[in-house]
Protein backbone atom coordinates (compact mmCIF):
# COMPACT_ATOMS: atom_id res chain seq x y z
CA UNK A 1 0.00 0.00 0.00
CA UNK A 2 1.16 3.45 -0.76
CA UNK A 3 0.27 6.60 1.13
CA UNK A 4 -1.25 9.73 -0.31
CA UNK A 5 0.86 11.48 -2.91
CA UNK A 6 3.23 14.11 -1.58
CA UNK A 7 2.29 17.71 -2.13
CA UNK A 8 4.84 19.85 -3.89
CA UNK A 9 6.84 22.04 -1.50
CA UNK A 10 5.34 25.26 -2.86
CA UNK A 11 1.80 24.02 -2.10
CA UNK A 12 2.78 23.17 1.46
CA UNK A 13 4.08 26.72 1.93
CA UNK A 14 0.89 28.21 0.51
CA UNK A 15 -1.21 26.12 2.89
CA UNK A 16 0.99 27.13 5.84
CA UNK A 17 0.84 30.83 4.91
CA UNK A 18 -2.94 30.68 4.52
CA UNK A 19 -3.23 28.98 7.92
CA UNK A 20 -0.96 31.56 9.55
CA UNK A 21 -3.00 34.36 7.95
CA UNK A 22 -6.22 32.88 9.32
CA UNK A 23 -4.74 32.56 12.80
CA UNK A 24 -3.52 36.19 12.70
CA UNK A 25 -6.94 37.39 11.58
CA UNK A 26 -8.69 35.55 14.43
CA UNK A 27 -6.20 36.97 16.96
CA UNK A 28 -6.67 40.51 15.58
CA UNK A 29 -10.46 40.15 15.70
CA UNK A 30 -10.39 38.84 19.28
CA UNK A 31 -8.03 41.66 20.30
CA UNK A 32 -10.28 44.25 18.64
CA UNK A 33 -13.31 42.97 20.54
CA UNK A 34 -11.44 42.77 23.84
CA UNK A 35 -10.13 46.33 23.63
CA UNK A 36 -13.11 47.97 21.93
CA UNK A 37 -14.75 49.19 25.12
CA UNK A 38 -11.64 51.11 26.14
CA UNK A 39 -11.18 52.69 22.70
CA UNK A 40 -14.79 53.73 22.35
CA UNK A 41 -15.13 55.02 25.91
CA UNK A 42 -12.22 57.38 25.23
CA UNK A 43 -13.74 58.51 21.94
CA UNK A 44 -17.19 59.01 23.46
CA UNK A 45 -15.64 61.20 26.15
CA UNK A 46 -14.36 63.52 23.40
CA UNK A 47 -17.95 64.12 22.24
CA UNK A 48 -19.18 66.75 24.66
CA UNK A 49 -22.58 68.41 25.10
CA UNK A 50 -22.93 71.46 22.89
CA UNK A 51 -20.55 70.14 20.22
CA UNK A 52 -21.76 70.90 16.70
CA UNK A 53 -22.77 68.04 14.43
CA UNK A 54 -20.04 68.90 11.91
CA UNK A 55 -17.34 68.54 14.60
CA UNK A 56 -18.82 65.17 15.59
CA UNK A 57 -18.78 64.12 11.94
CA UNK A 58 -15.12 65.13 11.60
CA UNK A 59 -14.22 63.20 14.75
CA UNK A 60 -16.11 60.16 13.45
CA UNK A 61 -14.36 60.27 10.08
CA UNK A 62 -10.93 60.74 11.65
CA UNK A 63 -11.45 57.66 13.83
CA UNK A 64 -13.17 55.37 11.33
CA UNK A 65 -16.58 55.54 12.94
CA UNK A 66 -19.77 55.32 10.91
CA UNK A 67 -22.27 56.29 9.68
CA UNK A 68 -20.95 59.45 8.08
CA UNK A 69 -24.36 60.88 7.22
CA UNK A 70 -25.00 63.29 10.04
CA UNK A 71 -26.69 66.65 9.59
CA UNK A 72 -28.55 69.29 11.60
CA UNK A 73 -31.73 67.16 11.49
CA UNK A 74 -30.08 64.13 13.12
CA UNK A 75 -31.62 63.34 16.51
CA UNK A 76 -29.85 60.10 17.43
CA UNK A 77 -26.76 58.41 16.00
CA UNK A 78 -24.78 55.32 16.87
CA UNK A 79 -21.21 55.99 15.79
CA UNK A 80 -19.84 52.47 15.51
CA UNK A 81 -16.33 51.33 14.71
CA UNK A 82 -15.85 49.00 11.79
CA UNK A 83 -12.94 47.29 13.56
CA UNK A 84 -15.35 45.52 15.93
CA UNK A 85 -18.04 45.10 13.24
CA UNK A 86 -20.19 47.73 14.94
CA UNK A 87 -20.35 46.06 18.34
CA UNK A 88 -18.70 48.99 20.11
CA UNK A 89 -20.22 52.40 19.49
CA UNK A 90 -21.04 55.83 20.86
CA UNK A 91 -24.73 56.63 21.28
CA UNK A 92 -25.00 60.34 20.51
CA UNK A 93 -28.16 62.39 20.95
CA UNK A 94 -28.59 65.72 19.19
CA UNK A 95 -30.95 68.65 19.46
CA UNK A 96 -30.93 71.34 16.75
CA UNK A 97 -27.51 70.25 15.44
CA UNK A 98 -25.85 70.15 18.86
CA UNK A 99 -24.87 67.19 21.06
CA UNK A 100 -27.01 66.77 24.17
CA UNK A 101 -25.38 63.53 25.35
CA UNK A 102 -22.91 60.87 24.29
CA UNK A 103 -22.35 57.50 25.92
CA UNK A 104 -20.66 54.20 25.20
CA UNK A 105 -22.90 51.47 23.74
CA UNK A 106 -22.25 47.75 23.25
CA UNK A 107 -24.46 46.03 20.69
CA UNK A 108 -24.66 42.31 21.19
**Tell me: the pLDDT tens digits for 76-103?**
999 998 888 888 999 999 999 999 999 9
Whether 64 is in a domain gets the answer yes
Whether 23 is in a domain gets the answer no
Query: Is 82 within 8 Å of 68 (Cβ atoms)?
Result: no
How many separate domains does the chain show?
Answer: 1
Query: Is 65 within 8 Å of 90 (Cβ atoms)?
Result: yes
Residue 1 has pLDDT above 70, yes or no: no
Whether 55 is in a domain gets the answer yes
Whether 2 is in a domain gets the answer no
Q: What is the pLDDT of residues 11-37, one digit of tens each?
A: 889 999 999 999 999 999 889 888 889
Q: What is the pTM of this model?
A: 0.74
Whether 16 is in a domain gets the answer no
Whether 7 is in a domain gets the answer no
Q: Which of the four pLDDT bands, split at 50, 70 and 90, describes residue 3?
A: low
The distance of Cα 85 from the centroid of its chain, to the nearest Å, equals 5
Domain with 100 in it: 36-106
Amino acid sequence: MTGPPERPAWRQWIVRLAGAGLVLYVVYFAYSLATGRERMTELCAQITPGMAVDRVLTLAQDNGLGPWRLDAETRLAYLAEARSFGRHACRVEFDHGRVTSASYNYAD
